[in-house]
Chain A
Amino acid sequence: MQLSNKGSIASALATATCSLLASQSVAAETPSDPNPWQFDTALLYYGETDRVTAIEGVINASKDFGDEHIFNGKLVIDALTGASATGAVAQPYAQTFTRPSGQGQYTIGANEVPLDDTFHDTRLQVSGQWTQPISENYRVSGGLQMSNEYDYQSIVLNGSIARDFNQKNSTLSLGMSYAFDTIKPEGGLPVAFSSMAVYDDDEYESEDEYDDDYNATRNDDSDTKNTLDLMLGYTQVINRRTIMQFNYGISKVDGYTTDPFKVLSVVDSEGYTQANLYENRPDSRTKQSFFWQTKYAADVGVADISYRFSTDDWEIDSHTVDTRFRFYLSENSYLQPHFRYYRQSAADFYRPFLLQDQAIPEYASADYRLGEMTAYTIGLKYGMTLENGDELGFRLEYYQQDPKNAGFNAPGVLQQMDLYPSVKAIIAQVNYRF
């Protein structure tokens, strides 16, 4: 065998191998669908002490129709009941408030944080997402999400394109989503900074007189809000155990951002409430966020660490550190502790209350979620793969929000009130994947 004329052996062998393999009619057996529908289901309980309780059910179905043409459909139903903070301050005497609908009242005891206990809502959300490659290194995705509550509707459209390069070790993605929301609260939208009318036998001679006062606080029936989100993402495989991701997002909200159920108390120099005014927020908000995440797959488990910084033109800056460590207990089960820490500064128009002798600002809200606060979550998840390949998981978490005083001096009796009460919640979840 001379070397000089051997250049073609590899290709001749390739041809011979192909004809050897092709000549065999492969036994035709009933092919089972290699990519059946995959379902993820979860039931979540969220319970705040003395406040909101939510139950949420999620069904997520996905299927690969071949060549990474993937459809994902999701259905979420949640039921919310309980009480939420109205923004009014506690007083050393019992206070009576009008329900947002104008129908009925509720009374809050002395020294207690005013909570509106009429929250009762059921939300239904459906969404569909289609993802597919359009060439060797490009993937596109598009989706539609609709959600409906008694007084809130939302439609979100999204699209993204991702490009793999560097032998698929790097991915650059650009995404966009546009949300169109409509709010239509029972009783209509309140007039900004109008004073809550409270029916009182001594004050009103007839119910009609009260109705006139209530209606004077009411504006249009509904309003809308549009949100445009742009996201630039970069994912890099560092080595076979480590993957890192960077995202930059910009979000622009235009429209009605006010919470129609929230009020601010106007207090006198002694700290006594003179009136409760419906809040008012700017009609736009621009937010930027930066996100970094690293996942490391060790032999004993997976570490997942992320940090997010976001800043907006309401002057809310926030920092989030989220860490999860998954420890494999065996081939089929794991334990995953979770710790999350969150901190935000207050919005520039956040006021825990308004002072009677000062002019009403253009915008103001006493919603604690816009104030300075820290929050943390501590949790544990246990997951297992069953003998038939299905996966079952249990998660239990404790979540605490600690609002802080962003430098407001409380006058008189307010010094004895808890103006920044902590909110404590338990989250329990069961999920099943089949």
Chain B
Amino acid sequence: MKHQPITTALPQSPWQLYRRGDYLVGSFTAMASPCELLMDTVDLALGQSLTELAWRECQRIEAKFSRYKPDNLMAKLNASNGKPVSLDAETHSLLSFAQTCFELSEGMFDITSGVLRRAWTFDGSDRLAEANAVEALLPLIGWNKVTLDNHSLTLQPGMELDLGGIGKEYAVDRVSQLCQQQAPELSVVVNFGGDIQVTRPRRHQAFWQIGIENPDPTSPAPLILQIRGGGLATSGDARRFLLKDGVRYSHILNPKTGYPIINAPRSVTVAAGHCTQAGLLATLALLHGDEARTFLDQQGVKYWLLN
């Protein structure tokens, strides 16, 4: 059934709101993903205010942390050329979180590894990176070369930060938090391109039925999930890989070698208390290559894995 938006804030509103059965759906595009809010209410005024709130928060986070913006904090950090840059509280806690992840993964999750994109293009072809190009980038990688103190960060000249691995999940959790604060009794699903957080169980039905894009691109049917609460995130992209001599090189790169992880699952979806946590577990699972399943089993979390 085609859904006509029932209301928008302005004629050229960046977001839309429509009713689907007994709940409302707010939608917009942010962080290069389709973003949706499912709200277990038919109160349009409430739906409007939460959708507006979510959209504004996404705009704020994207403006602040995207590495594609020329004049934000990320740009300033990446152009700091060895000088310390002072940090606000939010950025500090995000970077502290990234540091914890680096430590927990023994250096496999590293937000300084983004520079490897200069050498690698994952277009489904068999063109691996030039060995000397990868070699030249390795000195620019390693969170252990970075100095994070209470108020500032110092990067080595030429190093870059990329929060792409946690930004979207963080936005999901932040928006979920805001919704919970605005409407504590309301069940809201925050779904930003398949990274999901549910604030609380629905009022009349036990589960939300959420369709996410099937990680298997050969399957046209969306994957229908039943979620009661908590977070869900998917890592991996079934379309981004290289294939050479029968070996599939995933687009997940090992920051220590500069080369792709081999035989990693094409995609991993993890359910956990928070979306950010689920996202990290999914990414860490991919970094384990063909031992991804064993890793996930050890974590005792619910997961879906596509090889």
Contact = CB atoms under 8 A, between A and B. Distances in A.
B218 interface: no
A64 B106 CA distance: 49
Interface string B162-183: 0000000010011001100111
Given A6-B295, A388-B44, A21 B177 contact: yes
Contacts of A18: 274
Nearest to A27: B178
A1 B106 CA distance: 6
B227 interface: no
B186 A6 contact: no
A385 B46 contact: no
A376 B135 CA distance: 86
B93 A168 contact: no
A13 interface: yes
Size range of the interface on B?
A: 35 or more
A66 interface: yes
Contact of B273 (A17, A167, A168, A332): A17
Contact of B42 (A3, A10, A21, A389): A389
Contacts of B131: none
A97 B118 CA distance: 104
Contacts of A240: 205, 209
B8 to A, nearest CB: 11
B100 A12 contact: yes
B183 A34 contact: yes
Contacts of B97: 16-17, 19-20
Interface in B207-251: 209
A87 B78 CA distance: 95
Nearest to A29: B182
A18 B230 CA distance: 13
Interface in A1-44: 1-3, 6-7, 9-10, 12-14, 16-21, 23-24, 26-29, 31-32, 34-36
Interface string B73-92: 00000000000000001100
B20 to A, nearest CB: 8
B19 A31 contact: no
A3 B93 contact: no
B191 interface: no
B170 A387 contact: no
Contact of A20 (B94, B182, B281, B294): B94
A311 B104 CA distance: 71
A20 B170 contact: yes
Nearest to B203: A68
Nearest to A167: B206
What 6 A-B pairs have minimum CB-CB distances, sorted nearest first?
A34-B183, A389-B44, A10-B299, A23-B93, A17-B277, A20-B97
Interface of A: 1-3, 6-7, 9-10, 12-14, 16-21, 23-24, 26-29, 31-32, 34-36, 64, 66-68, 167-169, 240, 297, 299, 328, 330-332, 385, 387-389
